[in-house]
Amino acid sequence: MGNDTWILASFVMEAVFWIGAYVLILRGSFKNRIHYMPVAAMCGNIGWEFILGLDLFPPCPVYWANCPDFIMRPATLAAALLDVVILYTILRFGRDQFTFPAIRKYFAPLVLGGVVLGFALNYGVMSEMYTLNVYNAPVGGIVPEYLQAGLQGGLYTGWGLALMMGILFIATFFTRGDLRGQSFLIALFMFLGNLGAYFFDLTATGGRLIPLLHLLAIPSMAINVAYALLLFRRSRELGVNPWKI
């Protein structure tokens, strides 16, 4: 199996499990009338996915010469559109989960403002952050010494968001104290999606990920595993089938 095939297979793994997690999140949200995605996580994700899905920065990293844009872009845009529906579930069901009066009163403007801020932060980092071009990737016919973050497939903001999401889901578990708006199956899908993303990044870069990315990715996946184990154990304690939403 050629290297490009392995890269594509790992991306398909990432896309299938993350889109699957979003579908399960939406199913649980509408079924149980509670938002499953932490608000801050959605605010960051939706901007990241629209930036790449709409090709404001290319979803194909420049270090993968044979990247199939016709697959990468639609998959990312599909995730972004699912995030729009997740945003709706937060606006529809999220207000009642907060007790602070100001948050309840201005819930919708705060959430929408968070979406705008998340988009701006993602785009700002992708535009203004440069790292050493350890991949020797060509841009415009030359190999620059430094490579714009936005040309690297959303690596830095993507893994930063993954780490933030992992922490927020753990916080949700301890804050709610039960299984409301949570599911072991969703947690498992998120872990497998991140594992696919890690394989993709390692394979596409020829194993040349800089240490910062390992420091973001590995703790993210460790937190995913911890969260899944917490939900599995709590499900068993409550007599709930962990394999159902």
- Report pLDDT digits (tens) over 213-227: 999 999 999 999 999
pTM, two decimal places:
0.94
Encode 78-91: b = buried (16+ Cβ within 10 Å), e = exposed: ebbebbeebbebbe
Domain ranges of the chain: 3-237
pLDDT in tens, 199-211: 999 999 988 899 9
* Regions of the chain short of the pLDDT cut 70: 1-2
Structure tokens at 76: 């990312």
3-class DSSP assignment, residue 234: helix
